Amino acid sequence: MTHARTRTPVVAGWFTDAPGPDFRLLGTRCTACASVFFPREDAFCRNPGCTGGELAEVPLSQRGRVWSFTDGRYRPPSPYVSDPQVEWEPYVLVAVELAAERMVVLGQAVPGVSAADLAVGMEVEVVPGVLNEDADTTWTTWHWRPVEVAA
Amino acid sequence: MSGDIAVLGAGMHPWGKWGRSFVEYGTIAARAALTDAGLDWKQVQSVVGADTVRGGYPGHVAGATFAKALGWQGARVTSVYAACASGAQAIGAARAQILAGLADVVLVVGADAAPKGFFAPAGGERPDDPDWLRFRVLGATNPAYFGLYARRRMALHGDTVDDFAQVKVKNAAAGTLNPNARYRRTVSAEEVAASAVVADPLRLLDICATSDGAAALVLTSMDFARRHGTTDPVRIRAVSTVTPTFPRSVLDLPDIATDSAASVEPAPHSFRASIARAAYEEAGIGPEDVSLAEVYDLSTALELEWYEDLGLCGAGEGAKLLRDGTTALGGRIPVNPSGGLASFGEAVPAQAIAQVCELTWQLRGAAGDRQVSGARAGITANQGLFGHGSSVVAVR
């Protein structure tokens, strides 16, 4: 008998729970100076030239361009969760430049993408993903996925 | 110059994996520095310890730990923690005490006994800690960030993996000449290329190890040095411990994202470059005056970035400087004549102090087979997790 796992974001409030094309990373924007923060700042604006405004939740751009990328050929230490009984499967990390926000956001690439598939400047989009699963919970995250070239 | 302090003594415990306590390493380095200075421990008025976090307590209170190990004698005590920049902060604290007239003789000590493998954050469920988060959410180890920088250099500047390997070849060659280095054998580019990829495009031999080791300095006022009979000591002329400016636009560990530059234009220079600029400005010298540099080569590719950040060459010209032989022993500006982290491995709280030990020996003309001829001024550069700048200028 199986039981359904609860889908829980690995960090609360960092991305929407919308499936598919509506998925977005969530940051905050200062209503006084328009600086954007990710991970979100909810208490204070960190712009030293800003007298401080309300911080409002804002979805980040879905698409950006690869600033750089690398991979993890060895199992990272805890608190990264992986099964030591299972052979380590390298994953790719992508740093993505978002034009509108003028910032770079790191994330794992969707499974199946290797470093050889990527290039600096390539367009990618954010998609929902699964970080790991345990007995009761599917821990969700964001992934970067190369945008298919239109046929 | 009135802002100078004297380096009367420098001492180290050799880097390695010795399996003993960091207290023992630090005490040996401290005694070596005191012997080098010709001073007795009881003459030390203040002891500043650079903390290790792996001694059983977060921010292990190193100043008092070393004071106890050397034998309680009542000296003023300070302990500092700034990750990889802890040593520079310890030197900065010592200098401030000397220049303020609070102490004439200060002992600075940093030591570590490092764990094997990747550095990892403290345990528990701590989602308010960016360092914990980058491991939990991304599995982003330190080498992952080094890989990102390396790949970016390849795309922007045309650096090659062979350029990176040549940094290791250069630093390993210098390390063979340093009795305090952990690795004392030459390494070929072929050996680098044959080592396992850790974080694309970087291989095991592109990335520095973690080591046990210790370094200590005896710092004094210029007046004390004269009274002690040292008329021409190595002098520390600048200690840069700056933080970044908002918006910080280069992704840096342990961050998951940069600041946004949507509302404020970033400074024209990166944080790393600003660390060196502050040191040059305080010292009243420029890159053209530098005889040698000790930089934090956590990875081979990162050393090339430091060339540019120190102003030794223009943006994107780091690999050319290396290829020209400018930064090798015998070149115009040797970088990491000690052998660097490539030959030492990182002993976090000791490392920035060890950089100044190397400057001291070089500026004294006492660096043996790795001596930089005619060395008159040297600069160190380093950076601690979370935004701690670290750069020291020493002159003779």
For A47-92, how does the pLDDT look when each residue is reduced to its tens digit (9 = 90+)?
999 998 899 999 999 999 999 999 999 999 999 999 999 999 999 9
Backbone angles phi, psi at B241, to 5 degrees: -130, 45
- Two tokens at A103? 């910032």
In a mutational test of the A interface, the residue from B258, B265, B302 whose CB has the highest number of chain A CBs within 10 Å is B258
Confidence grade of residue B385 (pLDDT, cut at 50, 70, 90):
confident
CB contact under 8 A, B257 and A104: yes
Domain that holds residue A111: 61-146
How confident is the model at residue B126, as a pLDDT?
Answer: 86
The span from the CA of B83 to the CA of B309, in Å, is 20
Query: What total number of domains does chain A contain?
Result: 1
CATH number of the domain enclosing A111: 2.40.50
Q: Which domains, and CATH codes, for chain B?
A: 5-116+213-235 (3.40.47.10), 130-208+236-395 (3.40.47.10)
How confident is the model at residue B57, as a pLDDT?
Answer: 53
CB contact under 8 A, A77 and B120: yes
Q: What one-letter code names the amino acid at B294?
A: E
Chain B touched by A130 (CB under 8 Å) = no
- For B85-132, the pLDDT digits (tens) are 999 999 999 999 999 999 999 999 999 998 777 777 877 888 888 889
pLDDT above 60 for B36: yes
Instruction: Give, in order, the Cα–Cα distances in Å from B246 to each of A64, A99, B10, B232.
Output: 22, 18, 37, 41
Confidence grade of residue A7 (pLDDT, cut at 50, 70, 90):
very high
The ipTM value here is: 0.95
Confidence grade of residue B54 (pLDDT, cut at 50, 70, 90):
low
Backbone angles phi, psi at B11, to 5 degrees: -155, 150
Other CB atoms within 10 Å distance of the CB of residue B73: 13
Long-range Cβ contact pairs of B285-291 (< 8 A, separation 24 or more) = B285/B237, B285/B377, B285/B393, B285/B395, B286/B311, B287/B311, B287/B312, B289/B376, B289/B377, B290/B333, B290/B377, B290/B378, B290/B379, B291/B333, B291/B362, B291/B372, B291/B374, B291/B375, B291/B376, B291/B377, B291/B378
- Two tokens at A114? 């290797």
Q: B357 or B65: which carries more pLDDT confidence?
A: B357
Section B66-88 average pLDDT: 93
Query: Per the domain annotation, does A124 fall within a domain?
Result: yes
The residue to which tokens 């002098």 are assigned: B235
In a mutational test of the A interface, the residue from B133, B251, B263, B386 whose CB has the highest number of chain A CBs within 10 Å is B263
Query: Per the domain annotation, does A52 fall within a domain?
Result: no
CB contact under 8 A, A76 and B121: no
Residues with Cβ < 8 Å from B1, sequence gap 6 or more? B237, B284
